[in-house]
Amino acid sequence: MSTSEIDEHIIQRHQSRWRHYWQLLWFKVYTDLKIETQITYLGFLWWFLEPIFFLAIYYLVFAVVLKTRTPHFVEFLFVGVVAWRWFGPAMNRSCRSIKAQAKLMREVHVSKLIFPAAIVLNDAFKFIIIFSFVLVFLAIFHDKPTFLWLTIIPNLLCQMLFIFGLSFCFAAITPFLPDFPLIVQTVMFSLMIISGVFYNVLEAPPHLAHLLQFNPIADILINYRLPLIYQQAPQWGYMLYSGLFGVLLNIVGIYSIQKNDRVFPKVCG
Amino acid sequence: MHEIIASLQNVGVYYKQRFSLKRRKSNAYWALQDVNLEIRHGEAIGIRGHNGAGKSTLLRVLAGIVSPNKGVAKIAEGCRSGLLTLQSGFNPYLNGADNAILKGLYMGVTKEYIQSKMTDIIELSGLGQKFYEHTGTYSSGMAARLGFAVNYFCMPDLLLIDETLGVGDREFKQKSKLLIRELIRSDKTVVIVSHEEDALVSLTNKIYTLDKGVLVAD
């Protein structure tokens, strides 16, 4: 084989940088999912077992021990736990995502947005599969699906935006502040408590409920539960609020990563 | 005269040591200081220097991996520059094919292009059916051969070579060394950093010395 042979095949380059990143991103999501199912014995099965395990624990504590009065508590909990499982792990993993690629970043230049984005999409894929099972469960054991169920689509998009935005922001901070993942763990645990995963924020005293709804995650959970469990329209105002919050986080996060794109390889040494 | 494909003007790069309350002095360490360099299409440039002289940082600036803290680094529009990285970056849980695609994508070529080169990659690496097994089962020589083959077919326009000219076992080391030498002698634009004085003299047209971040032409 000679160099002239390579020159004959002009290396096919990407017409557009973004098209290239798009192709890289999807291939990375695909290979990450493939690796994940291969390195564990339970693999794919664990995606289902984990939320069921949490569901059982929370049910034991809140329904059996504390005797909660929230109606349809199993369904309520199921939706909350599964929706939360997209936030929590994605945040904890994506805050380390850029720093974890230190070696690669010192060898090739690639947009650092890819690393947190691949994690969010990886978790999104799992979420959509598990959430589909939750919908089937609700349709069989709770109530027939109504047109109101369609309102979960914009809510899902708001959740996706919010997770992308927060992941970008967190991923941009860790290379400069190595202790940040520890802080994120604590913050995520606190957020889980105040977001109403296992209690209804709307049942709190009105002034407190209003305050808790400043947290977009609480709004997203409410807007899944209202149409799916209580056959009520979602709170459109709060849905818009969580969506706009997500847009703002994306602007800040993408700007921070892009601005430091060629600085990260130096600080992650 | 050929067109300029990369130029550095008064480029300085510093690394910051971790913030410390005890340290009062500035915590910046300048790896490159006022570096001026012009690279024209088809040139082969050699850079010699001791460990810690700033050679790797210089290559990273040329590869667009880090931005200078001072001065201007320009790379011509549409020019893909990249480090020749041979040993690294394979995920042990993916097979050779998936790893080749991933590495090629990181190097800036399309998935379709790498897929069209699979037979050549298998042939050059000499991996045969092993190519479709997890790279975790490869010996370090096999991984180096795969790394070299992917690099060879995804070669950037401005090729930056850090130290090593050959990889793998003895036989493959000879083969890869010959291929790299052939690339350098062709009209590829190459910047090569090496301790091997003889290699630099025989392969390059211009040699610079880098000492404590300062670049001087010989």
pLDDT in tens, A45-63: 877 888 888 888 888 888 8
- Whether residue A158 has pLDDT greater than 60: yes
Asked if A3 and B120 come within 8 Å (Cβ–Cβ), the reply is no
Task: Answer with the residue of higher pLDDT: B75 or A16.
Answer: B75
Predicted confidence (pLDDT) per residue in B158-212, tens digit: 888 876 655 666 777 777 777 777 777 777 888 988 777 777 887 788 899 988 8
Complex-level ipTM beyond the 0.90 threshold:
no
SS3 for chain B is CCCEEEEEEEEEEEEECCCCCCCCCCCEEEEEEEEEEEEECCCEEEEECCCCCCHHHHHHHHCCCCCCCEEEEEECCCCCEEECCCCCCCCCCCEHHHHHHHHHHHCCECHHHHHHCHHHHHHHHCCHHHHHCEHHHCCHHHHHHHHHHHHHHCCCCEEEEECCCCCCCHHHHHHHHHHHHHHHHCCCEEEEECCCHHHHHHHCCEEEEEECCEEEEC
User: Measured between CA atoms, how close is B94 to chain A, in angstroms?
Assistant: 7
**Which one-letter amino acid corresponds to residue A16?**
S
Q: Does A66 touch chain B (CB under 8 A)?
A: no
- The pLDDT value recorded for residue B95 is 93
From B101, which residue of chain A is nearest by alpha-carbon distance?
A27
- The pLDDT value recorded for residue A150 is 95
* Residue in A115, A266, A267 to test binding to B, most B beta-carbons within 10 Å: A266
- The pLDDT value recorded for residue B51 is 79
- The pLDDT value recorded for residue A7 is 41
Compare CB distances from A107 to B80, B89, B94 and report the shortest one's residue.
Answer: B89
Q: Please, which pLDDT band fits residue B25 given cuts at 50, 70 and 90?
A: low
Token look-up 């060394």 returns B177
- The pLDDT value recorded for residue B177 is 75
User: Measured between CA atoms, how close is A31 to chain B, in angstroms?
Assistant: 8
Q: Please, which pLDDT band fits residue B90 given cuts at 50, 70 and 90?
A: confident
Asked if B188 and A3 come within 8 Å (Cβ–Cβ), the reply is yes
Question: Which residues, including other chains, have CB under 8 Å from residue A38's CB and lie 6 or more apart?
Answer: B93
Compare CB distances from A38 to B64, B83, B93 and report the shortest one's residue.
Answer: B93
- The pLDDT value recorded for residue A2 is 43
Residue B211, strand partner residues? B214
Q: Name every chain A residue with its beta carbon within 8 A of the beta carbon of B124.
A: 1
- The pLDDT value recorded for residue B8 is 93
Token look-up 């794109």 returns A261
Q: Name every chain B residue with its beta carbon within 8 A of the beta carbon of A100.
A: none
pTM of the full structure: 0.88
Q: Does A186 touch chain B (CB under 8 A)?
A: no
Question: Which residues, including other chains, have CB under 8 Å from residue B207's CB and lie 6 or more apart?
Answer: B45, B46, B47, B48, B200, B201, B217, B218
Cα gap A257→B39, rounded to integer Å: 30
User: Measured between CA atoms, how close is B197 to chain A, in angstroms?
Assistant: 24
In this complex, how many residue pairs, one in chain A and one in chain B, have their CB atoms less than 8 Å apart? 99
- The pLDDT value recorded for residue B88 is 60
- Whether residue A14 has pLDDT greater than 60: no
- Whether residue A121 has pLDDT greater than 60: yes
User: Measured between CA atoms, how close is B212 to chain A, in angstroms?
Assistant: 18
Average pLDDT of the segment spanning A192-214: 90
Round the average pLDDT of chain B to a whole number and report it. 84
Laid out side by side, the sheet with B70-75 consists of B28-40, B4-16, B70-75
Average pLDDT of the segment spanning B29-36: 90
Compare CB distances from A27 to B60, B65, B101 and report the shortest one's residue.
Answer: B101
- Whether residue B55 has pLDDT greater than 80: yes
Q: Please, which pLDDT band fits residue B86 given cuts at 50, 70 and 90?
A: low
Task: Answer with the residue of higher pLDDT: B77 or A88.
Answer: A88
Supply the DSSP symbol for A62: I
With pLDDT > 90 as the criterion, what percentage of chain B qualifies? 31
Cα gap A140→A150, rounded to integer Å: 17
- The pLDDT value recorded for residue A198 is 86
